[in-house]
Amino acid sequence: MRTRFASDSGLTRRMVVTMFLLGLLYVVFVGVLIALGVRALTVLLIAGGLLFAQYFLSDRIALFAMHGREVSPQEAPELHGMIDRLCALADMPKPRVAIADSDVPNAFATGRNQKKAVVCVTTGILRRLEPQELEGVLAHELSHVAHRDVAVMTIASFLGIVAGLMTRFALYTGLGGRRENGQGGLPIGLIVMLVSIVVYAVSFVLTRALSRYRELAADRAGALLTQRPSALASALTKVSGDMARIPTRDLRDAEPFNAFYFAPALARGETLANLFSTHPPLERRLEQLANISHQLGRG
């Protein structure tokens, strides 16, 4: 389903390459488990069930986790009006609209396709942003839906789930036997745990790299759709600056959803979290928007 959002061949290539590499890594991972004689069928079935739930119920899960609720045009007329205008401008189906009762200023989009998508904003971002700034954020989130990268990120996280489950399986369910009927060799549980950790680390790096690029792609597509990159830049600056005023406890509660947020919710001083961030640095995003503004000849 094509839209008027600017196409991004770079994002498409990265999504294809990431999915291919993760698929290859998954095949190798399963092959190692089989070679070790591990009966991982139960774990894989559980992981498959999680993938099914994550893919087909991602919108409901995200709304439930973030305490969001769908709102009608009567409940939030201005928010619906903005999304109506942007969807008409982008020539795309209107997603469901939701609001999360949270002071953390943020927004996210989820759903496996355009027809099942939902765009959610927090009460914190509604209070802080001017209409043009909020419109830029909404255009950013709608571009995620149009580019289908939300669904790709959901699927890409599957291998990390499997590896994490296998690590716990090795630690807590007695995979401690040795190879060759106990005649020496490393414990199977230790091998499974080490392989799972490596697989998780590789999948983590691949999905984080894709996540950072997709945020730049969404900034670019949203700015080009609204023709107001300066409004999006202003929203980014406000949201990122106000994160410093949010209690650390609230930020930690929000961090598991960073991959889907407009801007990352990071507790202050977490340099390691910044190193493996789901988002590019604020300076990089603002620089790109400034370049787009220059190309358009106006803010």
- Catalytic residue positions? 141
150 is written with which tokens? 């939300």
Give the rounded distance of the alpha carbon of 45 from its chain centre.
Answer: 24
Q: How many other CB atoms are found less than 10 A from the CB of residue 245?
A: 8
Give the β-pairing of 118-122 and 107-110: antiparallel
What are the structure tokens assigned to 176, written together? 């401690």
Number of other residues whose CB lies within 10 A of the CB of residue 189: 21
What radius of gyration do the chain's Cα atoms show?
Answer: 21
Give the whole-angstrom CA distance, residue 97 versus residue 144. 15
Residue 70 pairs with which residues in a beta bridge?
Answer: 98
